[in-house]
């Protein structure tokens, strides 16, 4: 599987980092974009720099690299995950604003009818957030809020994060063993 993963400036970059690591473990080819605000949150929340994620991706892009192959629909991928997805990024995608490589790659993913998963990390939600989520959903994106479940009785933050990452993999049709399923 060949996927684009974007990490934006919402809190919860742990979800993005774990997604990239899980995909790498499962043999996926990952093209990673980290927004400027994503870089700041990565440092603040996890003490990491963008370069620390190089071992987990095929290529690491600057969000300013609008000449990247990810800007073109002729460049084949199997889909894109924005994790976490900030409300600003959501608004850009919902309104067709290709402000940077993240929103442009998402626009291309939608126009090519490829899977786009947005892991929205915002609370509480206002009407604008909800309208933007409805717009992107109607355009074909999958909204996957970062809301872990508790039926599998997580004991660590990692288990809670793995639940969300597992849900991302589920919607992409990727087999995994990241959490115990209901009734299993």
pLDDT in tens, the chain (184 residues): 999 999 999 999 999 999 999 999 999 999 999 999 999 999 999 999 999 999 999 999 999 999 999 999 999 999 999 999 999 999 999 999 999 999 999 999 999 999 999 999 989 999 999 999 999 999 999 999 999 999 889 999 999 999 999 999 999 999 999 998 887 6
118 domain-assigned: yes
Q: How many domains does the chain have?
A: 1
Instruction: Return the CATH number at 94.
Output: 3.40.50.1950
152 domain-assigned: yes
Contacts of 151 by beta carbon, 8 Å cutoff, 6+ apart: 182
111 domain-assigned: yes
148 domain-assigned: yes
For the chain, state the CA radius of gyration. 15
Domain span at residue 7 reads: 2-171
> Which residue, among 39, 29, 41, has the nearest Cα to 5 in the 3D structure?
29
178 domain-assigned: no
184 domain-assigned: no
72 domain-assigned: yes
Predicted structure pTM score: 0.96
181 domain-assigned: no
Give the tokens for residue 68. Answer: 């990247």
In total, the chain counts a number of residues equal to: 184
Cα→Cα distances 129→36, 55, 123, Å: 21, 34, 10
Q: Residues 3, 28: contact at Cβ < 8 Å?
A: yes
Give the tokens for residue 146. Answer: 């970062």
């Amino acid at each position: 599987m060949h996927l684009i993963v974007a990490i934006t400036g919402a809190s919860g970059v742990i979800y993005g980092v774990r997604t990239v690591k899980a995909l790498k473990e499962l043999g996926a080819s990952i093209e990673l974009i980290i927004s400027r605000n994503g870089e700041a949150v990565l440092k603040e929340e996890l003490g990491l720099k963008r370069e620390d994620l190089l071992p987990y991706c095929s290529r690491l892009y600057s969000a300013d690299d609008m000449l990247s192959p990810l800007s073109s629909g002729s460049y084949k991928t199997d889909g894109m995950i924005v994790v976490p997805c900030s409300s600003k990024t959501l608004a850009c995608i919902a309104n067709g604003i290709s402000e940077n490589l993240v929103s442009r790659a998402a626009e291309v993913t939608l126009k090519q009818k490829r899977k786009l998963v947005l892991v929205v990390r915002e609370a509480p939600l206002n009407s604008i957030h909800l309208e933007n989520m409805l717009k992107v959903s109607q355009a074909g994106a999958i909204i996957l809020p970062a809301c872990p479940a508790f039926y599998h009785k997580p004991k660590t933050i990692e288990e809670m994060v793995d639940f969300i990452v597992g849900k991302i993999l589920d919607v992409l049709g990727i087999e995994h063993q990241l959490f115990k399923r209901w009734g299993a």
